Every structure is written in structure tokens, then in C-alpha cells.
Structure 1
Amino acid sequence: MDVTTARERLESMLADIDRSIAVLRGDPVAVRERSAADAGADLTDADRVQAMLAVATAQRRSVVDAIKRVEEGTYGSCVDCAKPVPEGRLEARPEAARCVQCQSKRERRR
């Protein structure tokens, strides 16, 4: 993937993620009285929203880091071994920072 296309895709992804985060952080439109059961459901919903915010925030960080790599001229090179990240991987995940082998090693260590 050429750098211009990568930057466009990453910036589009960033805008989408920012919109999602804004929606997740939004306040309810209306406040109404709720029963105890509704309060329990709200807690579950709040936990789900927090989890989605955590994932969106991590994804946003990956996209911002990828944009920085584009600006630095290192986009498309693995941050661990400096080998090229396969084109197919970058097509599927433009924010990918590692080649498949290094990403697999990282995931096994977790």
C-alpha cells in the first residue's frame, strides 16, 4: 500500500474512532425515574460502554502511532525486527505495527 493511501485510510479510521468515542462518552438524552432492575441493567450497560471505550481508545492509539510512522517514513516496517510488514496485512490492518511473526510472538507472551 502506498503511503498516501495508507495516510488517507488511517485518517479516515481515526475520524471514525473519534466519532465512536464521542458517542460512547455522550450523556443520556433524557433522565427518567428507573426501577431497581433498571439500575442493575444500567450498571451492566455502563460496564459494556467502559469496555468498548477501552477498546476504541487502544485502537485510536494504534492508528495515531501508525500515522506517526507514516510521517517518520517508517510505515510498513515492523517496529520489532524492521522487516517489511506484508502488503496484505497492511491492507487488512493499516495500523499494523508488526510483521505476522513478531505479532505472533508478542501475543504468545501475553
Structure 2
Amino acid sequence: MDIATARARLEAMLTDLDRSIAILKGEHPERDNSPADAGALLSDSDRVEAALESMQDHRRAVAAALDRLNAGTYGQCLGCGATVPEGRLEARPDAARCLACQTKHDKSHR
């Protein structure tokens, strides 16, 4: 993937994530003291918090990929230094590691 295409995709992802995060923050349910609504609101609130956390993590990964792109290290595995395969970057433009290193990373962070 060429640098211009990668930059455009990453910037579009960042814009979409920012928009989604803003929407979720605006829809965060207020907690009510009503016993009848407490369980439903807690459940909704938990789902919104989990979605926000996931989106914010993804946003950090996309911003880090843009930083790597600006530094000239985009597409270089953070684990082994090898080139991240083109197909992986096509599927996940924010990928920081080759598949083998990502698998090791995921296992060590469980």
C-alpha cells in the first residue's frame, strides 16, 4: 500500500472513530434512582462504556499508525522489525506487527 493511500485510509478511520466516540458520549445514559430502571440503565451504561473503551483503544492504534507513517516506519513490525505483509495492512491499516508477533503480543497481554 502506498503512503498516500495509507494516510488517507488512516485519516478517514480517525475521523469516523472521532464521530462515533462523540455520538456515544452524547448517548451515554444517565443513571436514575428508580429501582425499576436501575438494572436496565446499568446494563446500557456498561455496554456504552465497553463500546467507548474499544473505540478509544482503536483510535489510539490508528493515531499510532499515523505517527509511524510520519516517522517513516509505517509497515515495519514493532516486534521483529520485518515488513508487515501488504495484505495485513490492507485488512488492518493500523496493524503495528506482523501476524506472528501480533499473536505473541496478544498471548502475553491476556
TM-score by length of 1: 0.90
Tell me what 1:76 maps to: 75
| Counterparts in 2 of 1:108 and 1:27: CA distance versus 1, 3 Å | closer
Over aligned residues, Cα RMSD in angstroms? 1.9
Determine the structure 2 residue equivalent to 1:58.
57
| CA deviation string 1:63-92 (max 9, x = no partner) | 000000010000000011110000000000
Indicate yes or no: 2:32 matched with 1:22. no
Structure 1 gap segments, 5+ residues each? none
The separation in 1 between residues aligned to 2:23 and 2:5, in whole angstroms, is 27
How far apart, CA to CA, are the structure 2 residues paired with 1:45 and 1:78? Answer: 38
Unaligned residue ranges in structure 2 (runs of 5+) = none
CA apart distance, 1:37: 2.5
Identity of aligned residues (%): 56
The letter for the 1-side match of 2:18 is D
Distance in 2, Cα, partners of 1:9 & 1:84: 19
Letter in structure 1 aligned against 2:35: A
Kindly indicate whether residue 3 of structure 2 is the aligned counterpart of residue 3 of structure 1. Answer: yes
TM-score relative to the length of structure 2: 0.90
CA distance in 1, matches of 2:95, 2:50: 22
